[in-house]
């Protein structure tokens, strides 16, 4: 069971990082790759924030509940 908790926590961290990259691209702070359609597009700020929050909830749940 510890493996499942660890794997769920790692998955949550990956989801948070993906959300942060989307926020960075949406704000133009992280313009990589240059041909990305997400750069300086404000909807990606919202989706990145939402994704990061979901990732944080996954991490919290993996630490809180006995899986």
The residue ranges of every structural domain in the chain are: 2-64
Give me 23's structure tokens.
């926020």
Render pLDDT for 1-33 as a digit per residue (tens, 0 to 9).
889 899 999 999 999 999 999 999 999 898 888
| 37 secondary structure, DSSP code | T
CB 19 within 8 A of CB 55: yes
Name the residue among 55, 25, 29 with its Cα closest to residue 43.
25
CB 28 within 8 A of CB 40: yes
| 67 secondary structure, DSSP code | -
Query: In the chain, pLDDT over 90 holds for what percent of residues?
Result: 66
SS3 34: coil
């Amino acid at each position: 069971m510890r493996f499942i908790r660890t794997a769920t926590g790692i998955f949550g961290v990956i989801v948070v990082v993906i959300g942060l990259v989307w926020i960075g691209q949406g704000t133009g702070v992280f313009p990589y790759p240059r041909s990305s359609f997400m750069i300086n597009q404000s909807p990606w700020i919202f989706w990145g924030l939402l994704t990061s929050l979901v990732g944080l909830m996954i991490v919290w749940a993996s630490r809180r509940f006995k899986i």
